Amino acid sequence: MLHCPATVLLARHGAAAYEADTWSGEGGSLTREGRAQAAALAGRLHGRQITQIYTSTMARAVQTAEIVAARLDADVTTRLDLQEFSVGDFTDVVRDTDPFVETFTSWLDGDLSARVPGGETGADVVARAQSVLDDIADMHPGETVLVVAHGGILTLAIRNLLTFEPGVTPRQFANCAFAETELRSDGWRLTGWSDPA
């Protein structure tokens, strides 16, 4: 039987403000700009026949997904494994510093064994992403679904799980940018990229 691959659009949430001034791992809430970005994302997806939207359980992602869903008449399902990488021991570090730079740079350089102190390794994040994305794709053969998540986990997934189609280049995940992907018989493929206008 011919297997029709799922098209899985991977989008980063809209711009958010945070309840605490530390990296406490709270979900954040969309700003006015973030809500406008989510509405614009829905406009760019109009006509794509999105059958389902999956989102991280973090508020900034859920709010983005709900705005898009309302415009596209789609259902939203939260998935815990779509959350951003763990803040680990940096819960009480103030947000005006970025304690993740060294670890995230190591991940981008290919060292997935590097670990956020008290948190996940890059390999942990990639495995988590692969498990949930494979599951989503398996449930939607021949359909197009939207996944709303976070810049860190999405960047690692694209760099470590996907083969890039000729002429398609991944870029930095701006708020409400999305990557178009397919899970084919030979693995995940990056087939397109859409940045906000």
Helix, strand, coil percentages, rounded to 5, for the chain: 35, 25, 40
7-97+127-194 CATH, one of 2.40.10.340, 3.40.50.1240, 3.30.70.100, 3.40.50.300:
3.40.50.1240
110-151 pLDDT, tens per residue?
Answer: 999 999 999 999 999 999 999 999 999 999 999 999 999 999
- Rounded Cα distance between 36 and 51, Å, is 22
59-116 pLDDT, tens per residue?
Answer: 999 999 999 999 999 999 999 999 999 999 999 999 888 999 999 999 999 999 999 9
Band (170; pLDDT cuts 50, 70, 90):
confident
pTM for this structure? 0.95
Residues 6+ apart with CB under 8 A from 109: none
